[in-house]
Homo-oligomer: A and B are copies of this chain.
Amino acid sequence: MKTTIKDVAAYAGFSIATVSRAINAPHSVNRVTLEKIREAIDALQFSPNPLGRQLRSDRTRLIGIVLPTLANPVFAECLQGIDELASAQGYRLMLMTTQYDADRERHAIETLRAQRVEGLILTVADADTHPLLDELDHAGLRYVLMHNDTVRRPAVSVDNRLAAYEGVRMLIAHGHRHILMLAGTLAESDRARLRYVGYSQAMQQAGLTPAPALEVDFNADELAPSVLAHLTKGATRPTALFCSNDLLAMVVMRGLRRASYSVPEHMSILGFDGLAVGELLSPPLASLCTPNREIGCAAWQRLMNRIEGVDDGSSLSLTLPHTLRVGETVGAISDIVGQR
Q: Which A positions have Cβ atoms within 8 angstroms of B?
A: 1, 47-52, 54-55, 60, 65, 69-71, 73, 76-77, 79-80, 83, 87, 92-97, 104, 107-108, 110-111, 113-116, 139, 250-251, 253-254, 257, 277, 279-282
**CB contact under 8 A between A282 and B280, given known A55-B55, A76-B76, A92-B94:** no
18 contacts between A and B (CB under 8 A): A1-B116, A50-B114, A50-B116, A51-B55, A51-B116, A70-B77, A71-B76, A71-B80, A73-B76, A80-B97, A83-B96, A87-B104, A87-B108, A93-B95, A250-B277, A254-B279, A254-B282, A281-B282
Bound-complex Cα distance A110 to B92 (A): 12
Q: Name the B residues within 8 Å of A69 (CB-CB).
A: 80
In the complex, A92→B116 CA distance in Å?
12
User: Given the complex, which residues of B lie within 8 Å of A87, measured CB to CB?
Assistant: 96, 104, 107-108, 111
Q: Classify the secondary structure of A's interface with B.
A: helix
Closest 6 CB pairs of A and B: A70-B76, A250-B280, A51-B55, A47-B114, A76-B76, A277-B277
Question: Which B residue's beta carbon lies closest to that of A73?
Answer: B73
Contact A83 B55, beta carbon cutoff 8 Å: no
User: Please, how many angstroms separate the alpha-carbon atoms of A278 and B71 in the complex?
Assistant: 14
Q: By the criterion CB–CB under 8 Å, are B48 and A114 in contact? A: yes
CA distance A325 to B279 in the complex (A): 22
A29 CB → nearest B CB, Å: 21
